[in-house]
Amino acid sequence: MGHNRGVVEVPKRSISRSAKMAALPLGHVGRSAVSWGKRLGGKPAEVVTAEMQQRTAEQMFKVLGELKGGAMKLGQAMSVFEAALPEEMAGPYRETLTKLQEAAPPLPMSTVDEVLQEQLGPDWRNRFAEFDETPAAAASIGQVHRAVYRDGRVVAVKMQYPGAAKALASDLKQMVRMGRMFGAWIPGIEMKPLLEELRERVLEELDYLAESNNQRAFAAAYEGDPDFVVPHVLAAAPLVLVTEWVDGTPLSKIIADGDQETRDRAGTLYQRFLLSGPGRAGLLHADPHPGNYRYTPDGKLAVLDFGAVAHLPDGFPRAVGQMLAIAVSGNADEVLTGLKEEGFIRPHIDVDAEQLMTYLSPFIEPAEFDEFHYSRQWLRGIFERVKDPTSPDFTIGLKMNLPPSYALIHRVWVGATGVTCQLDATVPMRSEMKQWLPGFAEGLSEPAAD
């Protein structure tokens, strides 16, 4: 097959989304192995591998960071991997995503009017006593307006940008094709089915009718709860969602300057909500980002945005609680067996059981104590181990698989750990897990550690 060696100058602004997606480093590790091996002559093989993987990830994150819409959304969903990367690699990626979200230009009111007419009818304004035309928030795929409903309730009107769904579907289709590259980056993971699962879950986030059903289910399950507030849905259409407005302090502000008592309570409620959802509503709130939570003046946790959920009608898989209890008891061989049975370690992968237990410490340690202090220092210590290519933890991480059925559970667990560490909160995790994780309490064989 011939190759065109000519060079055509193309204006920068005309480079398409697809062209940027095509710039992602498919097969980058394989193509670069020989030349890098020569350039890095004398270094141990695992160091060469680590540097190749870092180059691949850096290039991938750079391109993702330049995109909006679907690719950026999937990049956020892939944060389960970003959390395991060295901070010097993951930090700029997170900063880029944050800038893109904050910089999203709001739609002009003429376009807002067109969307609301199409979704709520030509007389949509009759539903509201007041409607603030300046959005209260604008992000990559939609924006939120504050309004007063016809019955006097203050409401949030969430609307999706026209064309967002089509762009998202196109981006995600391209991303799924990148499974081979991700597989080279983390060879222990079966990436194609995982990316397919994440693609389906991310697409669900654009269906506001489905989101309204999720939110109604949570609102019913937590109605009158002394600890939580879930806003009720007043109206829903495919691209518009009208819910009760909730005032409160964003969790990000508590992270920045909250007092210790508030940090501890907010962290406890945050973890309790994520753990209790499957048992109470049959659903796991699957977007642990602090922007989705408000701490109300009366000390409750208000939960927003129910587009990302995992449907768990029977609650958390019993295997999660059982394996965690076995890990707390210190039986490394049983943990290894259980993880293989659940698909976290593929059959042909050889893993040392004791090293595996060390690698799993961020999941195990909070369950070992009556109260656990989540801190950045603790998390940094874990990252220091997993990012060091000479550490056994680094090798274990490359051997771990993530079954598609656990994709959102893992995303929530990893994300929630990071947020609770940002809160610097002390949380009674052991008792929360006993109450909400099936199989955990009955599987414990030892008393809580001092």
**At which of 196, 212, 234 does a domain end?**
196
Tell me the H-state helices in 284-388: 318-329, 332-342, 353-359, 361-364, 376-387
Residues 272 and 180 in one domain: no
Residue 261 has pLDDT above 70, yes or no: yes
Question: Pick the residue with more confidence: 49 or 272?
Answer: 272
Fill in the amino acid letter for 442.
E
pLDDT digits (tens, 9 = 90+) for 205-249: 788 999 999 999 999 999 999 999 999 999 999 999 999 999 999
Q: Is residue 355 part of a domain?
A: yes
CA 82 to chain centre: 10
Say if 221 falls within a structural domain.
Answer: no
Query: By mean pLDDT, which of 121-130, 168-177, 292-301, 383-392 is the weakest?
Result: 168-177
229 in a domain, yes or no? Answer: no
Mean pLDDT of 22-33: 38
H or E segment and range at residue 191: helix 191-204
CB atoms within 10 A of CB 255: 19
Mean predicted confidence (pLDDT) in 189-208: 70
How many other C-beta atoms lie within 10 A of the C-beta of residue 396? Answer: 21
Domain span including residue 59: 14-102+170-196
Are 436 and 350 within one domain? yes
Domain annotation covers residue 78? yes
Look at 201 and 157; give whichever has higher pLDDT: 157
Q: Please, are residues 393 and 357 in contact by the beta-carbon 8 Å criterion?
A: no
Considering the domain architecture, whether residues 314 and 180 belong to the same structural domain is answered as: no
* Structural domain count of the chain: 2
CA–CA separation, 414 vs 382, rounded Å?
12
- Please, are residues 56 and 400 in contact by the beta-carbon 8 Å criterion? no
Instruction: Looking at the structure, tell me whether residues 297 and 180 fall in a common domain.
Output: no
Same domain, 256 and 342: yes
Residue 68 has pLDDT above 90, yes or no: no
Beta-carbon contacts of residue 200 (< 8 Å; ≥ 6 apart): none
User: Do 187 and 276 share a structural domain?
Assistant: no
Mean pLDDT of 301-315: 93
The span from the CA of 304 to the CA of 104, in Å, is: 20
Which residue would you say has higher pLDDT here, 301 or 85? 301
Establish if 442 belongs to a structural domain: yes
Residues 293 and 362 in one domain: yes
What is the pLDDT confidence band of residue 34, given thresholds at 50, 70 and 90?
A: very low
45, part of any domain: yes
Indicate if 269 and 412 belong to the same structural domain: yes
Kindly state whether residue 131 falls inside one of the protein's structural domains. Answer: no
Is residue 161 in some structural domain? no
Q: Do 400 and 266 share a structural domain?
A: yes
Judgement on whether residues 180 and 298 belong to the same structural domain of the protein: no
pLDDT digits (tens, 9 = 90+) for 77-100: 444 344 444 455 555 544 544 444
Return the percentage of the chain with pLDDT > 70, whole number. 67
Mean pLDDT computed over 386-410: 80
Q: Which among 397, 317, 388, 408 has a CA at the least distance from the CA of 362?
A: 397
DSSP states of 242-260 as a string?
EEE----EEHHHHHHH--H
Answer whether 0.85 is exceeded by the pTM. no
